[in-house]
């Protein structure tokens, strides 16, 4: 289908334009209203501006022309047909809890918020699948399937707010990944509205299926750049027993990383294996008076949701001691486990309190290189005279080095940005990736090219071209 | 890069051509010998003809011009550069144990056998990864990682012969999938030689990673139609305890399927859950005198590799009885478990003995529809006056209806083919897929279009075009 190129007219006198800094396009709005109810089309610039950003630092965002809140697949198709006809960029959004700027608006774009498509369409305990719309909140799905004795594992920190559509767009991880893997492993099939408004189904609702190329996985993590996910078939698991947690304190980060290696080499399958470095431990101690000794240079949290978790914790506790743990504290029950996890949950808030602003990195290395990564980050923090705290999904080798800085200090902001980049370079040197679970978005697009190389980049761009020949789907992200 | 179109000359007088029915192309062979040792280039038509087929029935195969057996990535690159330059189709092959004709030669093609690239490059117990060349035999890898206390789950029936490259090409499954999933879930990263000979790396060796589109998964199951996998990073798991097996006999297939639903709905995670229907049970009984009672209409095998498998078997045995099992036999130890599994292992051989030839289908339905699927297959067998035995990876809803026929009887052969198609149609009606784990190849390419629809087909073809603009990679497969 060849479409005539229509330039969207700009109405420079429009008050909305003056206020929001973006063109409120009457033709665009009129066309959208042809297939959407009035309450689903937001043009008030004060309102549309509130949809400009996700939660990433250092990522520019433009002013949307309009925000649409469709409730049906047909309405999404209408939005995409309109966008294709008028050549208007479309930025799909979930709850905007992302950390890479992938959901940031571009000037004059349609923000396509999927938050009103929030129905759980089916939960089937025999097939162990759920069928959902993209706006379903992760926690809502988790609770709903829990009532059927089922479990939807992916649990990003933002799980109480973030949507399944956003999780699919960014291929989110979480604390559970060391045992249960990432979002990608739970997406069996998708309904996708393509750039031109056509509807495509990918994948399956069966446990297995290999009919043709795996386009489902191509869409997972594509950050809204290939199409709009309007329905997902998700795999579920039986709900595991409640997990029991152990905390181990170490006199050095190296010893804690050694313990991680021993645990994984020993064939254990923890449901959680988290590490907090000295800076994070100190920040949490300062904020919440947790009473951790000042000599604690690293804290490791391990959990098991097996039928006999106490035995697993004992085995892992012994490995921690062999690696030099100064103290090992296994929880006796779920309540104690919850207390031990609080330190981890407070980490980001505590690090934010250090300097007011944080920039969270997401570098994943082979877990055998975790010690080298932490050592390198300490070196980088010294070099740039910055506080950098590290929380890590240690079992995955996935570190979240968090640069603490005063955003009102231009020099410190510059050093923060440079240290952030140097951490990614270190991750690549160690055989890792620039992003374990947060995605590329705007924040890391220059680094994506460095990670995947020129041939990979060329093929990825060519794949983008197949699905989005006009370049209207979340332009300026990823590449 | 624009390349001039060079028509490969055909030497009609060449003896090889006359013997093998395919053109032996001197220019092609000379060019190949420019970058491959002589022993890696086979042109004897008796030899090349032996590389024409995989193990599928009813799939046409052409006569290869040449078979190449490279040992290095550079040699594969040379083959692909040559093929691109001369516009010669390339058919990549592993052990040719596939069941859909995906590895069948086309006339005048280069058969690119990866069987000589069979080195295990690394096994890392901390990172739980193996790095392998594509020609490594599945069983060789399984044994090698086992020595490190590790486990590579994918276990197609041909695991003693099939290669990892072939498993990746077809996204193979096996008996383990109900607990451990398919090959796709164990492929973290790939090195791929593209159609033009360039090398591309995809994915990662870390536990997580979301940098750019997931091209790794795009290649898994692509049947050699997008590029040549020359190296794979595979995820491993800790070796589980040895599994304990239970056999349950039922007086109807419906009751056995009811038991499957109760087991999965009950939150159990068996390491194996297999079903054999009446026809298969009878064929195995006839072949091996297993002494199963004639009243057994279906046999269910369940296994657990948990720390306390006897307790799990007891719970599942009770569910089988509640569903109407006439007898429940749990194994006491590994040796007894092995005996119980023998019936399942003999199934295909036993069904082959019925009429001499079999045609194995691979339809996967939501497991809640397994009963409807079996009932429908019985109806189809009656309609076409054929013997159709069904083995099923019941926990996955993945059935292997096996049509038994006399290949020397044209009418029976026609009925076999028609019943095979009708079974796929039934699978689609029940919300399933035409292939759970065997792939599309030549056998099911007309059905792929029916399953994925015109929009899906258009996008899949466009993706193929990105990676193989000249159409030289395994042409005539999938689409």
Asked if residue B192 lies in contact with residue B219, where contact means CB atoms within 8 angstroms, the answer is yes
pLDDT for A6 beyond 60:
no
A132 touching B, CB under 8 A?
Answer: no
Asked if residue B390 lies in contact with residue B350, where contact means CB atoms within 8 angstroms, the answer is no
pLDDT for A223 beyond 90:
yes
* Portion 360-419 of B in contact with A at CB < 8 A: 364-368, 393, 395-398
Smallest Cβ–Cβ distance between B440 and the set A208, A211, A431 belongs to: A211
Q: What confidence score (pLDDT) does residue A410 get? A: 96
Task: Copy the structure tokens of residue B49.
Answer: 């003809």
In a domain, B173, yes or no: yes
In total, chain B counts a number of residues equal to 479
Residue in the block written with tokens 């469709």: A70
B193 touching A, CB under 8 A?
Answer: no
A438 touching B, CB under 8 A?
Answer: yes
Chain B residues within an 8 Å CB radius of A183? none
Tell whether A396 and A364 lie within a shared domain. Answer: yes
Residue B416 parent element (H or E): helix B410-429
| Average pLDDT of the residues in B305-313 | 95
Q: What confidence score (pLDDT) does residue B25 get? A: 86
In a domain, A100, yes or no: no
In a domain, B213, yes or no: yes
pLDDT for B6 beyond 50:
no
For A249, residues 6+ apart whose C-beta sits below 8 A from its C-beta are A292, A293, A296, A298, A299, A325, A326, A327, A328
Chain B residues within an 8 Å CB radius of A177? 207-208
Q: For chain A, how are helix, strand and coil distributed in percent, rounded to 5?
A: 40, 20, 40
In angstroms, what separates the C-alpha of A6 from chain B's closest C-alpha?
Answer: 25
Tell me the C-alpha distance between A154 and A73, whole Å.
Answer: 25
| Average pLDDT of the residues in B197-219 | 97
In a domain, B34, yes or no: yes
∠ CA B219-B364-B179, nearest 5°, is 75
Phi/psi for B80 (5° steps) reads -70, -35
| Average pLDDT of the residues in B108-124 | 98
Tell me the C-alpha distance between A463 and B272, whole Å.
Answer: 38
Tell me the C-alpha distance between A364 and A235, whole Å.
Answer: 25
pLDDT band (50, 70, 90) for residue A297:
very high
Tell whether B333 and B380 lie within a shared domain. Answer: yes
Closest CA to A438 of A361, A327, A357: A361
Asked if residue A259 lies in contact with residue A253, where contact means CB atoms within 8 angstroms, the answer is no
In a domain, B174, yes or no: yes
In angstroms, what separates the C-alpha of B265 from chain A's closest C-alpha?
Answer: 5
Phi/psi for A252 (5° steps) reads -155, 150
Mean confidence (pLDDT) of chain B:
93
pLDDT for B317 beyond 50:
yes
Q: What confidence score (pLDDT) does residue B4 get? A: 33
pLDDT band (50, 70, 90) for residue B168:
very high
Strand partners, A404: A358, A387
User: What is the CATH classification number for the domain harbouring B43?
Assistant: 3.30.43.10
Tell me the C-alpha distance between B263 and A126, whole Å.
Answer: 9
Q: What confidence score (pLDDT) does residue B295 get? A: 86
| Average pLDDT of the residues in B161-175 | 95
A207 touching B, CB under 8 A?
Answer: yes
Determine whether the interchain pair A366/B210 forms a contact, defined as Cβ–Cβ distance below 8 Å: no
Task: Copy the structure tokens of residue A188.
Answer: 């069996």
Q: What confidence score (pLDDT) does residue A68 get? A: 98
Tell whether B289 and B156 lie within a shared domain. Answer: no
When mean pLDDT is compared across A24-33, A324-333, B205-214, the lowest value belongs to A24-33
Determine whether the interchain pair B455/A128 forms a contact, defined as Cβ–Cβ distance below 8 Å: no
pLDDT band (50, 70, 90) for residue B19:
very low
Task: Copy the structure tokens of residue B39.
Answer: 């022993």
Tell whether B257 and B390 lie within a shared domain. Answer: yes
Determine whether the interchain pair B440/A124 forms a contact, defined as Cβ–Cβ distance below 8 Å: no
Task: Copy the structure tokens of residue A318.
Answer: 């012994």
Tell me the C-alpha distance between B348 and A423, whole Å.
Answer: 55
When mean pLDDT is compared across A92-96, B33-37, B284-288, the lowest value belongs to B284-288
Q: What share of chain B in percent tops pLDDT 90?
A: 90
Tell me the C-alpha distance between A378 and A388, whole Å.
Answer: 8
Tell me the C-alpha distance between A418 and B33, whole Å.
Answer: 51
Determine whether the interchain pair A214/B217 forms a contact, defined as Cβ–Cβ distance below 8 Å: yes
ipTM at complex level? 0.94
Beta-strand pair B398-405/B387-393: antiparallel
Q: What share of chain A in percent tops pLDDT 90?
A: 90
Chain B residues within an 8 Å CB radius of A444? 211
* Portion 31-90 of A in contact with B at CB < 8 A: none
Phi/psi for B200 (5° steps) reads -125, 135
Determine whether the interchain pair A466/B467 forms a contact, defined as Cβ–Cβ distance below 8 Å: no
Closest CA to B238 of A243, A315, A247: A315
In a domain, A395, yes or no: yes
Task: Copy the structure tokens of residue A98.
Answer: 């992302």
Chain A residues within an 8 Å CB radius of B466? 459, 462-463, 465-466
Q: For chain B, how are helix, strand and coil distributed in percent, rounded to 5?
A: 40, 20, 40
Q: What confidence score (pLDDT) does residue A14 get? A: 40
Name which of A174, A206, A443 to mutate to probe chain B: the one with the most chain B Cβ atoms within 10 A of its Cβ: A206
Determine whether the interchain pair B364/A265 forms a contact, defined as Cβ–Cβ distance below 8 Å: no
In a domain, A85, yes or no: no
User: What is the CATH classification number for the domain harbouring B380?
Assistant: 3.40.462.10
Question: End of a domain among B116, B136, B157?
Answer: B116
Tell me the C-alpha distance between A192 and A112, whole Å.
Answer: 14
pLDDT for B11 beyond 70:
no
Tell whether B397 and B271 lie within a shared domain. Answer: yes
pLDDT for B13 beyond 50:
no
Q: List the single residue in A with minimal CA-CA distance to B170.
A: A210
Tell whether B355 and B417 lie within a shared domain. Answer: yes
Tell whether B105 and B132 lie within a shared domain. Answer: no
CA dist B122 → B39, B126, B130, B233, B389 (Å): 27, 12, 5, 9, 42
Asked if residue A436 lies in contact with residue B208, where contact means CB atoms within 8 angstroms, the answer is yes
Strands (E), B177-240: 187-193, 199-203, 228-235, 237-238
DSSP B368: G
Mean confidence (pLDDT) of chain A:
93
Tell whether B389 and B252 lie within a shared domain. Answer: yes
In angstroms, what separates the C-alpha of B43 from chain A's closest C-alpha?
Answer: 32
DSSP A185: G
Tell me the C-alpha distance between B432 and B441, whole Å.
Answer: 18
B428 touching A, CB under 8 A?
Answer: no
Closest CA to B390 of B405, B409, B404, B407: B404
Tell whether A230 and A295 lie within a shared domain. Answer: no
Phi/psi for A228 (5° steps) reads -110, 115
DSSP A468: -
Tens-place pLDDT, residues A392-435: 999 999 999 999 999 999 999 999 999 999 999 999 999 999 99
Beta-strand pair A187-193/A199-203: antiparallel
Chain B residues within an 8 Å CB radius of A220? 214
A211 touching B, CB under 8 A?
Answer: yes
pLDDT for A360 beyond 80:
yes
Q: List the single residue in B with minimal CA-CA distance to A178.
A: B207
User: What is the CATH classification number for the domain harbouring B159?
Assistant: 3.30.465.10
Determine whether the interchain pair A209/B127 forms a contact, defined as Cβ–Cβ distance below 8 Å: no
Residue in the block written with tokens 């799905």: A141
Question: End of a domain among B179, B214, B238?
Answer: B238
A456 touching B, CB under 8 A?
Answer: yes
| Average pLDDT of the residues in A73-100 | 97
Where in the sequence is the domain holding B109, given as residue range(s)? 15-116
Determine whether the interchain pair A368/B213 forms a contact, defined as Cβ–Cβ distance below 8 Å: no
DSSP A434: S
Q: What confidence score (pLDDT) does residue A25 get? A: 86
Q: What confidence score (pLDDT) does residue B17 get? A: 35
| Average pLDDT of the residues in B182-196 | 97
pLDDT band (50, 70, 90) for residue A294:
confident
Q: What share of chain A in percent tops pLDDT 70?
A: 95
Tell whether B104 and B131 lie within a shared domain. Answer: no
In angstroms, what separates the C-alpha of B207 from chain A's closest C-alpha?
Answer: 5
pLDDT for B27 beyond 60:
yes
Give me the number of domains chain A comprises: 2
Determine whether the interchain pair B212/A170 forms a contact, defined as Cβ–Cβ distance below 8 Å: no
B459 touching A, CB under 8 A?
Answer: yes
pLDDT band (50, 70, 90) for residue B252:
very high
Q: What confidence score (pLDDT) does residue B15 get? A: 36
| Average pLDDT of the residues in B280-298 | 88
Question: End of a domain among B210, B238, B266?
Answer: B238
| Average pLDDT of the residues in B98-125 | 97
| Average pLDDT of the residues in A183-209 | 97
Name which of B189, B203, B213, B425 to mutate to probe chain A: the one with the most chain A Cβ atoms within 10 A of its Cβ: B213
Burial class (CB in 10 A: 0-12, 13-18, 19+), B220: buried
DSSP B21: S
| Average pLDDT of the residues in B145-165 | 96
Name which of A185, A212, A469 to mutate to probe chain B: the one with the most chain B Cβ atoms within 10 A of its Cβ: A212
In a domain, A450, yes or no: no
Q: Residue B160, Cα to own-chain centre: how many angstroms?
A: 13
Determine whether the interchain pair A217/B222 forms a contact, defined as Cβ–Cβ distance below 8 Å: no
Tell whether B326 and B411 lie within a shared domain. Answer: yes
Tell whether B199 and B348 lie within a shared domain. Answer: no
When mean pLDDT is compared across B29-33, B180-184, B278-282, B286-290, the lowest value belongs to B286-290
Smallest Cβ–Cβ distance between B184 and the set A194, A214, A238 belongs to: A214
B318 touching A, CB under 8 A?
Answer: no
Q: What confidence score (pLDDT) does residue B9 get? A: 37
Determine whether the interchain pair A212/B149 forms a contact, defined as Cβ–Cβ distance below 8 Å: no
């Amino acid at each position: 289908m060849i479409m005539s190129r229509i330039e969207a007219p700009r109405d420079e006198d429009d008050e909305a334009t003056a206020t929001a800094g973006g063109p409120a396009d009457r033709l665009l709005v009129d066309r959208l209203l042809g297939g959407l109810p009035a309450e689903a089309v937001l043009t008030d610039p004060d309102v549309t501006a509130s949809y400009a950003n996700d939660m990433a630092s250092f990522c520019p965002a433009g002013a949307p022309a309009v925000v649409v809140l469709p409730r049906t697949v047909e309405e999404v198709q209408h939005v995409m047909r309109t966008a294709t006809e008028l050549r208007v960029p479309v930025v799909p959004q979930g709850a905007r809890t992302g950390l890479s700027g992938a959901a940031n608006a571009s000037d004059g774009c349609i923000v396509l918020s999927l938050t009103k498509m929030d129905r759980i369409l089916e939960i089937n305990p025999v097939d162990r699948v759920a069928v959902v719309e993209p706006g379903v909140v992760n926690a809502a799905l988790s609770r709903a399937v829990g009532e059927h004795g089922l479990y939807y594992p992916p649990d990003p920190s933002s799980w109480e707010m973030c949507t399944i559509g956003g999780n699919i767009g960014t291929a989110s991880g979480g604390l559970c990944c060391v045992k249960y893997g990432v979002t990608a492993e739970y997406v069996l099939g998708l309904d996708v509205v393509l750039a031109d408004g056509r509807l495509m189904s990918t994948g399956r609702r069966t446990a297995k299926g290999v009919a043709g190329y795996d386009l489902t996985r191509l869409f997972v993590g594509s950050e809204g750049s290939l199409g709009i996910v309007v329905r997902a078939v998700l795999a579920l698991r039986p709900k595991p027993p409640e997990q029991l947690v152990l905390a181990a304190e170490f006199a050095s980060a190296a010893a804690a990383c050694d313990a991680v290696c021993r645990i994984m080499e020993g064939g254990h399958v923890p449901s959680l294996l988290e590490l907090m470095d000295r800076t994070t431990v100190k920040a949490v101690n300062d904020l919440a008076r947790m009473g951790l000794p000042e000599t604690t240079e690293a804290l490791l949290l391990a959990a098991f949701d097996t039928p006999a978790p106490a035995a697993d914790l004992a085995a892992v506790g012994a490995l921690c001691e062999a690696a030099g743990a100064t103290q090992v504290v296994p929880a006796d029950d779920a309540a104690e486990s919850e207390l031990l996890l609080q330190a981890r949950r407070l980490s980001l808030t505590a690090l934010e309190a250090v300097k007011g602003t944080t920039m969270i990195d997401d570098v994943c290395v082979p877990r055998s290189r975790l010690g080298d990564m932490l050592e390198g980050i300490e070196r980088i923090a010294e070099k740039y005279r910055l506080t950098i705290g590290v929380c890590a999904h240690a079992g995955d080798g996935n570190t979240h080095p968090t640069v603490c800085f005063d955003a009102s200090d231009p020099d410190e902001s510059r050093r923060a940005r440079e240290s952030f980049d140097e951490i990614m370079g270190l991750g690549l040197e160690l055989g890792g990736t620039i992003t374990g679970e947060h995605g590329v978005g705007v924040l890391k697009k220059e680094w994506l090219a460095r990670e995947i190389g020129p041939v990979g980049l060329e093929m990825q761009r060519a794949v983008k071209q197949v699905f989005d020949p006009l370049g209207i789907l979340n332009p300026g992200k990823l590449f």
